[in-house]
Amino acid sequence: MQQQYYNFCAGPAALPTTVLQRAQDELLNWQGRGVSVMEMSHRHPAFMELAETAEINLRRLLNIPNHYKVLFLQGGATTQFAVLPMNLLADLASADYLDTGIWSAKAIAAMAPFGQARLAANFAGKNQVPSKTQLQLDPQAAYVHYCPNETISGLAFDYVPDTGSVPLVADMSSVLLSTPLEVNRFGLIYAGAQKNIGPAGLTLVIVREDLLGRARPETPGPLNYTLQAAQNSMLNTPPTLAWYLAAMVFEWLLEQGGLSTIAEQNQLKARLLYEQIDSSTLYINTIKPTCRSMMNVTFTLDNPDLEILFLAQAEAAGILSLKGHRAVGGMRASIYNAVPVAAVKTLIEFMADFERRH
Amino acid sequence: MQQQYYNFCAGPAALPTTVLQRAQDELLNWQGRGVSVMEMSHRHPAFMELAETAEINLRRLLNIPNHYKVLFLQGGATTQFAVLPMNLLADLASADYLDTGIWSAKAIAAMAPFGQARLAANFAGKNQVPSKTQLQLDPQAAYVHYCPNETISGLAFDYVPDTGSVPLVADMSSVLLSTPLEVNRFGLIYAGAQKNIGPAGLTLVIVREDLLGRARPETPGPLNYTLQAAQNSMLNTPPTLAWYLAAMVFEWLLEQGGLSTIAEQNQLKARLLYEQIDSSTLYINTIKPTCRSMMNVTFTLDNPDLEILFLAQAEAAGILSLKGHRAVGGMRASIYNAVPVAAVKTLIEFMADFERRH
């Protein structure tokens, strides 16, 4: 019997098996055209149709209003950290940033050459996010930036900050498409694809139209929101293979019943896992319960000497990539959309069994 | 009988069939690990080994000296047009550019916000490249930029410019890996992957170490050569799927006998095609013979009314993507490494037959 595997990688992460199977089936001959989808011009009518359908499906999934543009870019969220002020700061002096951990801190650091990254909340290293009343927002800020889900620590906002007329910008790399979203609460949303969207190498940007037109001239064309919006993200050759895979993920999400259904499953997976942790004396998660991530469940072992053994035995049981980020150590189970409930149940059983044995 | 297809797309272009077959075989289970290569962390030892082996093989293919760094980036050559001055201009006022067509002109336009793009040769719209004596180089230039192969017009340099102590920078998107190269003649070489390297979404940069350390602070981290060189191109999540496919293309090239063997085949393919054009009264290529591209063979029909028919009949015969770039029209057969000699022979037979019939 072939061993079953359960992939909890934080990213590049698990993709839906049916999507990979379809990609495999048609890898050398897409739509009966005699070539791979990755061997075709992005301006071929068939690929243009794929791209257009992908956007339509993404808009349907997230209920994206018409006055938002959807961009399919390259470079990952880390590139956006600098590209964001290039595109949005204009002649303003500062933007507000909420510091809640490693990813938001990276975004703050990347802002330095462009203007002031004013800390509207400094919660670095804390096990909770700022409450609504703890946000010290500057009404003159170019935008307010935050990271709704800190993938490394497993910390998440349980609310969308109200920033009034200042555009709210969110690095949603690890949560976009995991749950329904009120897009109109945001000025701009961006996300690297390699969690819930597709393979690494694609970056989604959803931007309100009135924020276009203010990019600095130094902005590289393919990273200029305004130019890419005008060219349907084809100012230059886009990452067609990644786009194609993301398009199939969007279809898969619609087939699953859309984001409400997916969110229910994600909530169930997270609840099961946190319950296992909380009912144990071996596993520890110190994040404030209301701020626990639904996507990245982190935990340490009461006896740290057991962590290497835990990881090794998990891997031997086919439970992969539980090692925490190298910046913080410990364990992390990333339970993105494509991780089935059954995988989480297997992990829980393993955790219970491991605890009994140690 | 299944129809045979011949893919002459200018990019994203044909990939070696054996590479696609291997990718297909292991798409859901890479190295027996139970997950796809695109579902693994880029920091997993197995992926790190893949990345390292890819670099070793690329270095072997191009005989890259040790004092050059190899970077695997995102964004395509068009992103590099702006990223290049960000990284290399430092406090110098200008860089020299050779204008030989649409791609070099785009690089020139992207330089504007950073400094002067001084025209060391203005051959835009000409059917030849400047001769060695026609280059008017500024010894104070930060670098000299040129495009050895203008993909759209099918125009190529038949020599490497001698720029003395000024670093020579080349956009080799459509020629890198098509023929052996004296890397030490260059300060920096860059190329989008989607011609001879792999799928769209990966960009190679080969940079001499002494050119590092001068990036502007605004440069996004993942596009900062210095930071990426220090991190083995893993400052952030790289496009792992594209990297994996490129790694297999490098292996395929070594299996073919390396770049000398590939270059012989490429020369043969180009010679056959240009001979067909030159011996015909219907097909026209106006590029000066010594400046004809070995990768992109452009031609028009003496009777332009026949072009649509030519393209339609070619497509019906399985000969795909011969339509010239929308900026110039006409026909273009891109005959990159993965296009076999047999495909070119089929095209030539079709061209001869079409000419007989019209």
At B326 the pLDDT is: 87
Contact between A52 and A45 (Cβ < 8 Å): no
CB nearest to A40's CB, from B12, B27, B77:
B12
Whether residue A222 and residue B76 make contact (CB cut-off 8 A), yes or no, is: yes
In angstroms, rounded to a whole number, what is the distance separating the alpha carbons of residues A285 and A278?
Answer: 8
Closest among B42, B79, B48, B43 to B224, alpha carbons compared: B79
For the beta carbon of residue A84, count every other beta carbon within 10 angstroms: 27
* pLDDT > 70 fraction of chain A, expressed in percent and rounded: 99
Single-letter amino acid code for the residue at B2: Q
At B285 the pLDDT is: 97
Look at residue B266 and give its three-state secondary structure: helix
Look at residue A207 and give its three-state secondary structure: strand
Give the minimum alpha-carbon distance from A302 to chain B in angstroms, rounded to a whole number: 26
CB nearest to A7's CB, from B39, B77, B320:
B39
Look at residue B191 and give its three-state secondary structure: strand
B171 catalytic per annotation: yes
B195 catalytic per annotation: yes
What are B118's two structure tokens? 């001084």
In angstroms, rounded to a whole number, what is the distance separating the alpha carbons of residues B180 and B195?
Answer: 16
Tell me the pLDDT band of A270, cut-offs 50, 70 and 90: very high
Residues in chain B with CB shorter than 8 Å from the CB of A236 are 76-79
Residues in chain A with CB shorter than 8 Å from the CB of B219 are 82
Q: Which CATH class is domain A21-255?
A: alpha beta
What are B34's two structure tokens? 């139970």
Closest among A222, A164, A236, A204 to A62, alpha carbons compared: A204
State the DSSP H helix or E strand holding residue A248, giving kind and residue range, or none if neither: helix A240-256
Give the minimum alpha-carbon distance from B1 to chain A in angstroms, rounded to a whole number: 13
Residue spans per domain, chain B: 21-256, 258-357
pLDDT digits (tens, 9 = 90+) for A18-70: 999 999 999 999 999 999 999 999 999 999 999 999 999 999 999 999 999 99
Q: Which residues of chain B fall short of a pLDDT of 70?
A: 1-2
Whether residue A81 and residue B221 make contact (CB cut-off 8 A), yes or no, is: yes
Residues in chain B with CB shorter than 8 Å from the CB of A217 are 112-113
Whether residue B240 and residue A199 make contact (CB cut-off 8 A), yes or no, is: yes
**Residues in Cβ contact with A323 at an 8 Å cutoff, skipping those fewer than 6 apart:** A311, A331, A332
pLDDT digits (tens, 9 = 90+) for A206-252: 999 999 999 999 999 999 999 999 999 999 999 999 999 999 999 99
Please report the sign of the dihedral spanned by the C-alpha atoms of residue B225, residue A190, residue B238, residue B253.
negative
Residues in chain B with CB shorter than 8 Å from the CB of A110 are 220-221
> Is 70 exceeded by the pLDDT of residue A1?
no
At B3 the pLDDT is: 83
In this structure, are strands B68-73 and B203-208 parallel, antiparallel, or unpaired?
antiparallel
Whether residue B12 and residue A43 make contact (CB cut-off 8 A), yes or no, is: no
Could you say which of B69, B96, B99, B195 is catalytic? B195
Residues in chain B with CB shorter than 8 Å from the CB of A36 are 15, 20
CB nearest to A320's CB, from B35, B201, B326:
B35
- For every residue of A215-232, DSSP letters joined together read --TTS-GGG-HHHHHHTT
Whether residue B41 and residue A10 make contact (CB cut-off 8 A), yes or no, is: yes
Whether residue A35 and residue B217 make contact (CB cut-off 8 A), yes or no, is: no
Look at residue B127 and give its three-state secondary structure: coil
Complex prediction ipTM: 0.97
pLDDT digits (tens, 9 = 90+) for B229-250: 999 999 999 999 999 999 999 9
CB nearest to A235's CB, from B78, B112, B220:
B78
User: CATH fold of A257-357, please?
Assistant: Aspartate Aminotransferase, domain 1 (3.90.1150)
Query: How many CA atoms lie less than 13 Å away from B263 in the CB half-sphere?
Result: 11
Regarding the domain with residue range B258-357, which homologous superfamily does it belong to in the CATH classification? Aspartate Aminotransferase, domain 1 (3.90.1150.10)
In angstroms, rounded to a whole number, what is the distance separating the alpha carbons of residues B11 and A230?
Answer: 22
Residues in chain A with CB shorter than 8 Å from the CB of B28 are 17, 20-21, 24
Could you say which of B99, B171, B243, B323 is catalytic? B171
At B1 the pLDDT is: 56
Closest among B80, B76, B82, B71 to B109, alpha carbons compared: B82
Residues in chain B with CB shorter than 8 Å from the CB of A221 are 78-79, 81-82, 110
Whether residue B35 and residue A192 make contact (CB cut-off 8 A), yes or no, is: no
Reply yes or no: is the peptide bond before residue A12 cis, omega within 30 of 0.
Answer: yes
Give the residue on A whose Cα is nearest the Cα of B219.
Answer: A82
In angstroms, rounded to a whole number, what is the distance separating the alpha carbons of residues A79 and B220?
Answer: 6
pLDDT digits (tens, 9 = 90+) for A59-113: 999 999 999 999 999 999 999 999 999 999 999 989 999 999 999 999 999 999 9
At B327 the pLDDT is: 87
Backbone φ and ψ for A62, nearest 5 degrees, come out as -100, 0
Give the minimum alpha-carbon distance from B37 to chain A in angstroms, rounded to a whole number: 9
What are A335's two structure tokens? 């339970």
Q: Do domains A21-255 and A257-357 have the same CATH topology?
A: no
Whether residue A79 and residue B36 make contact (CB cut-off 8 A), yes or no, is: no
Give the minimum alpha-carbon distance from A223 to chain B in angstroms, rounded to a whole number: 8
B69 catalytic per annotation: no
At A300 the pLDDT is: 96
Question: Does the domain at residues B21-256 carry the CATH identifier 3.40.640.10?
Answer: yes
Contact between B146 and B31 (Cβ < 8 Å): no
CB nearest to A200's CB, from B216, B218, B239:
B239
In this structure, are strands A6-7 and B144-146 parallel, antiparallel, or unpaired?
unpaired
